């Protein structure tokens, strides 16, 4: 068992454990939650000009306890990633060469034939969809989104429908939904393939429910001499799971924000001959469908640096640091009547855990609104009627104490 899988196993055994105060690094200060009186972490923010670039514009900076959400800005690149991006800014480069070499870099580390960096996972899906319709024919590439004369149908299991499956249709293709909202059979999937089918599509999730399994869906696609496009946006941990997903289909798409690459980056990987067509559709190809989906040189360097760090980091240490932040939060709330804290784990998640703060007799939505209205502004998720959900993956050092103080203030009225 490799170190990363061992780390995953160790923390999985702690599922739904109650946080204990002996995990704490320091006590939560007793400062009030106000615009002028931050907690220890908040004083650090004030001393370093936290959020000033937003405040100058009249926008309110946010403590993000919701995870990698686009509406909050997506990701927190590490100092090493930011430094690499700064170095990239010092000189120009031929983008075609950079895209080729960066794709090879990713491919070698994930054990795939080739890869191409994109403007997020959504763009990866758009370019993959264009690729399966046109092949390498330059005239067909140039005619999109007009699909006249092209095989333009992509077969997709209806039960996997999600907000972003529209990406498959952006270059002109049509999604053919198969099965119902609860299940799909292999026969239904196979029978839906017709003379206008360009590919099958698949949403990779830790729990596939009653969907046709990915391996079987790939077999069905290949039996009809068709490729399969997989959306694996955030399916990057444990590391062996990341690599398996990257190798699982003809074209597999990921988002960079989940491993702390720049928010507006992602990549598609898979069969070399298909990635070559993806490049043709990319933003520097001839009359490309992806012209408006540019990635700058700094972002490309940021992504390859981030993925290199992700594949070599000590994730056991990373997860212990997350748990310590949850513990700090829990102690800050332990003397409040009706409040209980519990860490819950999810298999095959890059963040792996969330802190559930249940406040009996309180409305979670009202509490979340209070945190949002406060200073500093804090964003949390909710679950059910009375539970706040806090994700430490996107917290900066010290922000856990500010959240604890803010909740103390709200709950004590």
Residue-by-residue DSSP string for 159-218: GG--TTGGGGGTTS-EEEEES-SS---HHHHHHT--TTEEEEEEE--S--TTSPPHHHHH
Task: Give residue 33's pLDDT band: very low, low, confident or very high (50, 70, 90).
Answer: very low
Q: Are strands 377-379 and 339-345 parallel, antiparallel or unpaired?
A: unpaired
197 token code pair: 């089918």
Better pLDDT: 158 or 350: 158
Contacts 24+ apart (CB under 8 A), 310-319: 310/236, 310/239, 310/259, 310/260, 311/109, 311/239, 311/242, 314/3, 315/4, 315/7, 315/8, 315/237, 315/238, 315/239, 316/3, 316/4, 316/6, 316/7, 316/10, 316/11, 319/7, 319/11, 319/352, 319/353
Task: Give residue 208's pLDDT band: very low, low, confident or very high (50, 70, 90).
Answer: confident
The predicted pLDDT at position 45 comes to 56
Q: What is the per-residue pLDDT across 368-393, written as a single tens digit (0 to 9) for each?
A: 999 999 999 999 999 999 999 999 99
Contacts of 2 (CB under 8 A, 6+ apart): 239, 240
Per-residue pLDDT for 195 more than 80? yes
Task: Give residue 74's pLDDT band: very low, low, confident or very high (50, 70, 90).
Answer: confident
Q: Where in the chain is the domain with CATH 3.90.1150.180?
A: 3-60+314-412
The predicted pLDDT at position 49 comes to 83
Q: What is the per-residue pLDDT across 305-355, written as a single tens digit (0 to 9) for each?
A: 999 999 999 999 999 999 999 999 999 998 898 999 999 988 778 888 999
**Per CATH, domain 3-60+314-412 is 3.60.20.10:** no
The predicted pLDDT at position 73 comes to 87
| Nearest-angstrom CA–CA distance, 237 and 242 | 6
The CA-CA-CA angle for residues 136, 141, 147, to 5°, reads 120
- The per-residue pLDDT of the chain, averaged, comes to 88
Residue 359's H or E segment, with its range, is strand 353-359
The predicted pLDDT at position 408 comes to 92
Task: Give residue 70's pLDDT band: very low, low, confident or very high (50, 70, 90).
Answer: confident
198 token code pair: 């360009």
Percent of the chain past pLDDT 70, that is, above it, reads: 88
Q: Where in the chain is the domain with CATH 3.40.640.10?
A: 79-312
Residues forming beta bridges with residue 155, ordered by sequence position: 176, 200
Average pLDDT (162-176) is 96
Task: Please give the CATH number for the structural domain made up of 79-312.
Answer: 3.40.640.10
Q: Give the count of alpha carbons within 13 A of 5, CB side only.
A: 6
Q: What is the per-residue pLDDT across 213-266, written as a single tens digit (0 to 9) for each?
A: 999 999 999 999 999 999 999 999 999 999 999 999 999 999 999 999 999 999
The predicted pLDDT at position 43 comes to 52
The predicted pLDDT at position 378 comes to 97
Residues forming beta bridges with residue 200, ordered by sequence position: 155, 228
Per-residue pLDDT for 46 more than 60? no
Contact, 340 vs 329, CB < 8 A? no
Average pLDDT (47-57) is 85
Average pLDDT (45-62) is 84
Q: What is the per-residue pLDDT across 263-301, written as a single tens digit (0 to 9) for each?
A: 999 999 999 999 999 999 999 977 899 999 999 999 999
The predicted pLDDT at position 347 comes to 77
Average pLDDT (59-72) is 92
Task: Give residue 160's pLDDT band: very low, low, confident or very high (50, 70, 90).
Answer: very high
Percent of the chain past pLDDT 90, that is, above it, reads: 79
Task: Give residue 48's pLDDT band: very low, low, confident or very high (50, 70, 90).
Answer: low
The predicted pLDDT at position 359 comes to 94
């Amino acid at each position: 068992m490799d170190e990363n899988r061992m780390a995953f196993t160790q923390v999985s055994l702690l599922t739904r454990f109650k946080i204990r105060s002996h995990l704490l690094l320091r006590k939560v200060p007793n400062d009030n939650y106000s615009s002028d009186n931050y907690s220890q972490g908040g004083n650090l923010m004030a001393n370093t000009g936290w959020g000033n670039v937003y405040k100058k514009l009249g926008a309110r900076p946010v403590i993000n306890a919701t995870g990698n959400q686009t509406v909050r800005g997506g990701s927190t690149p590490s100092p090493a990633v930011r430094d690499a991006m700064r170095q990239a800014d010092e000189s120009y480069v031929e983008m075609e060469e950079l895209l080729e070499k960066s794709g090879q870099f990713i491919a070698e580390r994930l054990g795939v034939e080739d890869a191409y960096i994109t403007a997020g996972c959504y763009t990866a899906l758009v370019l993959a969809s264009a690729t399966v319709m046109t092949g390498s024919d330059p005239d067909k590439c140039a005619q999109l989104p007009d699909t006249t004369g092209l095989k333009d149908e992509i077969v997709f299991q209806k039960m996997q429908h999600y907000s972003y499956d529209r990406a498959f249709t952006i270059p002109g293709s049509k999604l053919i939904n198969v099965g119902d909202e609860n299940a799909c059979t292999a026969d239904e999937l196979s029978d839906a393939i017709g003379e206008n089918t360009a590919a099958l599509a698949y949403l990779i999730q830790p729990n596939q429910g009653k969907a046709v399994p990915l391996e079987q869906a790939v077999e069905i696609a290949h039996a009809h001499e068709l490729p399969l496009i997989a959306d694996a946006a955030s399916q990057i941990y444990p590391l062996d799971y990341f690599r398996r997903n990257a190798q699982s289909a003809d074209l597999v798409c990921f988002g960079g924000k989940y491993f702390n690459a720049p928010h507006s980056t992602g990549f598609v990987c898979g069969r070399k001959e298909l990635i070559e067509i993806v490049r043709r559709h990319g933003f520097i190809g001839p009359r490309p469908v992806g012209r408006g989906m540019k990635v700058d040189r700094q972002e490309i360097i940021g992504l390859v640096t981030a993925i290199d760090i992700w594949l070599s980091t000590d994730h056991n240490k990373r997860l212990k640091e997350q748990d310590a932040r949850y513990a700090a939060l829990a102690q800050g709330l332990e003397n409040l009547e009706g409040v209980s804290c519990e860490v819950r784990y999810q298999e095959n998640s890059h963040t792996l855990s969330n802190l559930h703060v249940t406040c009996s007799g309180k409305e979670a939505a009202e509490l979340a609104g209070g945190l949002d209205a406060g200073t500093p502004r804090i964003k949390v998720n909710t679950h059910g009627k009375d539970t706040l959900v806090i994700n430490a993956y996107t917290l900066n050092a010290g922000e856990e104490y500010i959240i604890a103080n803010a909740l103390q203030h709200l709950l004590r009225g």
